[in-house]
Amino acid sequence: MKNEQSQIQQPSLLFEMKILRLATLLSEGDEGLDRDGLRLALDSAGSDSAVPTARFHAAALRLVEDLRSQGETVPLSLEQAIARTSPKDEC
């Protein structure tokens, strides 16, 4: 049984390694991009940068709600991230 699991996991692991290698190659040099540069790169690649930004914003808001409901302090960096990703009509 263990050998069967190993055989099933091996192709999955190889595929995952290929994806990670490809992601590394595709993102080479992106770490120096600022927010506007990243948005421009996403837009030129055919991705709508507003979609992941909105998803991040919503997830961050849920995280803040969870932290506050538990009586935890919300980190300043999280508050700043929420402010920076706020949709234009919320400003």
Identify whether residues 8 and 20 lie together within a single domain: yes
Residue 15 is predicted with a pLDDT of: 74
Identify whether residues 74 and 85 lie together within a single domain: yes
Identify whether residues 55 and 77 lie together within a single domain: yes
Q: Which domain holds residue 57?
A: 34-91
Number of domains in the chain: 2
Residue 13 is predicted with a pLDDT of: 78
Residue 27 is predicted with a pLDDT of: 63
Identify whether residues 52 and 75 lie together within a single domain: yes
DSSP 89: G
Split the chain (91 residues) into runs of 10 and give each run's mean pLDDT: 56 75 66 75 76 88 93 92 80 45
Q: Return the structure tokens found at 16.
A: 């995952």
Identify whether residues 18 and 38 lie together within a single domain: no
Residue 91 is predicted with a pLDDT of: 45
Dihedral angle, C-alpha 28, 34, 35, 39, nearest 10 °: -50
